[in-house]
Structures are given as structure tokens and as C-alpha cells.
Amino acid sequence: MQIALVGIGKIALDQHVPSIAASPDWELAATVSRHGTVDGVEAFTDFDAMLAARPDIRVVSLCMPPVPRYDYAAKAIRAARHVMLEKPPGATLSECHALADMAAAQRVSLYATWHSRSADKVQAAKAWLAGKTLRKFTVTWKEDVRRWHPGQEWIWEPGGMGVFDPGINALSIVTEILADPIHVTSALLEVPENRQAPIAAKMAFHHPTAEVAMEFDWRQEGDQTWSIEAECDEGTLALHDGGARMLVDGAETGDETSAALSGEYPRLYARMSELVRAGTSDVDLAPMRHVADAFTLGRRELVAPFTE
């Protein structure tokens, strides 16, 4: 199937383009971007022009920041194109629900992707936790914003989510592997004096049997930390490197050399192919609900200004 990629930035070039190129299901037929292109692929700078010029392209993958994404997705759906959304699927829950309703009315597929759910060991962790009695659950997600989002000012603006841009990856794993639902009970959001969005967050959650706490921080230097640890009556589980590694009772399971993002985006594109062929959608907004609740309940604390 032919697909158009909209928003040719770092994540598109690092993950989307190679995944499409390696897939037997997809052909990258066009790009839309004001600044980036892909060698050998027809390039547009205007989305409306691409939709008009290429009615043969039935699928669109949107990789731009979340705030402008709704307008692009709505145009694509109205043009009867199937739509794949980079995470987070939008700037607000309301617009994501609106897109889901539009897609259903137009009978096109809509896929709200969560790439961290496709990490190597996430499904194994979900299976291990099933049926066990959870007592303590701790998430530590600390990375360096300078390394992963250089010069991307939009992440600090309203709708950019700040540290929840990576933190929502952790939440996407948590909402996949836990059998019991959780919800935010308290949050502390650290906001730089010169920014609109938080650079760090600490949260507590309600769970039927366990103490659940999460800490996100965008100021981490050196080794990056993407870890989830679960203590159960029946043993302990740890996911490291964003779900690429899994330890049970301290012992490594499987291959220890998997890269943190290895395989995630190829699995997303395989899933999108399944959805289009089946004529169905996948729009799970659970991770976004937790972010919205953290902003609603969060106590804001001003911290030192942040500059790259």
C-alpha cells in the first residue's frame, strides 16, 4: 500500500522512514514538510496539495507536533484517507474523540500509536503480571531533553506536554501491562520559570492492592533511565531500557542486547496494515487520560529556568 508521511523531522527520519522502507506492506509514495524531504520520494510543502494531487495514496502517517495534528487528521479523514497518528495522538482528549467519531463515520481506519507498547518485552511482562498480586509498582523515566528534542521549542508550549512527551511512553506501557485500572491521586509538576510546560513530574496513583508511584525528569545527564519495577507476592519484575529488557526476580530474560527502539516502529506499521485491511480502528486514549489528570490535579512548583 502507498503511504504519505507528513512531518519530516527527527522521529520521521530516524524511525518512520526506515520502518516503511523495510516493510513488505508499505511504499513511501509522498512526503509533506516545509523543511524536510526523503531522497527519491515525491515531496510536497502543502498538505491540501498532496491530497488533491495524489488521490491514489489511501493512507497518511502524521508525525508533526500534537497541536497542529488535528487539522491535518481531519482533512485526511474527510478525504477518505486512513490515518496513523504519532504519539500523543493529539493535543487534547476531546479532539482525539472527535477524530475517532469522524473516522467511524467515514469508514476509514484511525490508529493512535503508542510505540513503547511495541517494545520487545512488554507483552511478556503483561503475561507475567497476569494473575499476580501487585504490592508496589514504581516507574522511573529520566532522560535528557537536549539529546532527544534538540531545538524543539514546541514541546515547552501549551499542548507540547513537556516531560510528559516521553512520560506518556511509560504510561502507555503501564496501561498495557497492568490488569487493574489505575488513576492519578496526586501530582507535583516542576515548571521552569521561563517555560509553560513541566520539566519533571512526580505522581501517585490509586490501585486496588499496590502503592503506585511514577517519576519523570527531563534533566537526566549521562545514562538514560526508562525503568518499571513491580513487586508482587509471587516475585518481582523489572522492565528496563523502555521495555527492551526484562528481569524476573533479578534474572535477565531473553536477549540482553535489544536496542530501546528496536522493532517498535516496524510493529506499528505492521499493525496499521492489519487495521486497514480489516477496516477497523485502534484508538486507545488511556495514557492521555493520565496526563490530563496529572495536569488537573498537579501542584505546580517553579524551578530554575531551562535553556539548551
Strand 134-142 to strand 225-232: parallel, antiparallel, or no bridges (unpaired)? antiparallel
Cell triple for residue 286?
488511556
Cell triple for residue 251?
534474572
Cα(244)–Cα(65) distance, integer angstroms: 25
Whether the Cβ atoms of residue 203 and residue 140 lie closer than 8 Å to each other = no
Whether the Cβ atoms of residue 143 and residue 220 lie closer than 8 Å to each other = yes
> Which residue among 10, 75, 87, 132 is the active-site one?
87
Sheet holding 59-62, edge to edge: 42-44, 27-32, 2-6, 59-62, 82-85, 110-112
Residue 75 annotated in active site: no
Residue 57 exposed, middle or buried by CB count within 10 Å (0-12, 13-18, 19+):
buried
CA count, 13 A, side-chain hemisphere, 227: 11
- Residue closest to 113 by CA, chosen among 6, 295, 265: 265
DSSP secondary structure string for all residues of 100-128:
HHHHHHHT--EEE--GGGGSTTHHHHHHH
Whether the Cβ atoms of residue 78 and residue 53 lie closer than 8 Å to each other = no
Sheet holding 200-206, edge to edge: 251-253, 245-248, 235-240, 225-232, 134-142, 211-217, 200-206, 183-192, 299-303
Cell triple for residue 131?
494473575
Instruction: Point out the residues that are catalytic.
Output: 87
